[in-house]
Amino acid sequence: MADRVVQPSVFVVDGEASGCPSVPSGRWRRRRRGRCSPTQLLLAILVLLALLGVALEAYFLKRFQEELQGTASQISKGINSSAAKMIQEQTLKVEKPAAHVTGAIGTQSASGEAVLQWEHALGLAFLHQVDYRDGHLQCTKPGHYFVYSKIQLGELRCESPNYREASMFTHGIYKKTPKYPEEMALMVSNKPYCGRRDVDQWLDSSFLAGVFFLEELDEVYVRVPNKQLVRVKDGTRSYFGMFMI
């Protein structure tokens, strides 16, 4: 029996052979077709982030609107409360005695004193729980009062023979009380006038104010000896008044 010779298998590769490569199975094709490319995945992430941003913006905008409405409501309540408080305070103030007289319409009183006379009923003038009599404001309720007076001054021709020694203008607020026979000076101001050689016309003003305790029937008034210097014009230039604090 002849010996069997085993020869190795020989594979012949023909590089020039024509033909199509093997086509992958249908299952592999379906798996590959279902995958997303990196670009598509990135776009999906960006879209999700954009939608999330819009949702967060809408949420915070709604919260901001709610807080804004709440703040506006609180401010409105605060304004209404403040307005009511101011009205109440003004009402309480009206209950206190007060007076404001204007104009300085004369200087001679019925008693012969050089006391300024005032307009006490017209324009800006008023009386509330304070009596006016012959230039005097009479207290009807005891308490601490803020008393004030402003006088507008003027001289058209300063013809003083000696300009170095200016004349003096005296503006004073005085008080009379039934408990004491003499008048008492509450405030007095002395101002020089016509003291400059280079001007003929002189204009100035004098203002006095202070807090004093007044009892019932006490009277306060303004006395100005230099009555020719007082300029009236309207009720905003010269006035006199008092109110309880």
Where does the pLDDT of residue 79 fall: very low under 50, low under 70, confident under 90, or very high at 90 and above? low
Query: Residue 111: exposed, middle, or buried by beta-carbon count in 10 A (0-12, 13-18, 19+)?
Result: exposed
Where does the pLDDT of residue 142 fall: very low under 50, low under 70, confident under 90, or very high at 90 and above? very high
**pLDDT score, position 20:** 47
Mean pLDDT of the chain: 76
Please state the rounded mean pLDDT for residues 150-179: 77
Taking 3-state DSSP, the helix, strand and coil percentages for the chain, each rounded to the nearest 5, stand at 30, 35, 35
**pLDDT score, position 91:** 47
**pLDDT score, position 49:** 84
**pLDDT score, position 1:** 47
Where does the pLDDT of residue 164 fall: very low under 50, low under 70, confident under 90, or very high at 90 and above? very low
59: left (phi over 0), alpha (psi -120 to 50) or beta: alpha
Backbone angles phi, psi at 167, to 5 degrees: -75, 165
The 10s digit of each residue's pLDDT in 2-60 is 455 555 555 444 544 444 455 455 554 555 555 667 788 888 888 888 888 888 888 87
**pLDDT score, position 114:** 76
Where does the pLDDT of residue 62 fall: very low under 50, low under 70, confident under 90, or very high at 90 and above? confident
**pLDDT score, position 90:** 56
pLDDT score of 97 more than 90: yes
Q: Range with the lowest mean pLDDT among 67-71, 80-84, 122-126, 137-141?
A: 80-84
pLDDT score of 196 more than 80: no
pLDDT score of 214 more than 60: yes
Please state the rounded mean pLDDT for residues 237-245: 92
**pLDDT score, position 104:** 67
How does DSSP classify residue 21?
Answer: P
Joined together, the tokens standing for residue 190 give 């002395």
Q: Concatenated DSSP letters for 116-170? A: EEEE-SSTT-EEESEEEETTEEEESS-EEEEEEEEEEEEES----S-TTS-EEEE
Distance CA 40, CA 53 (A): 20
Please state the rounded mean pLDDT for residues 208-223: 95
pTM score: 0.57
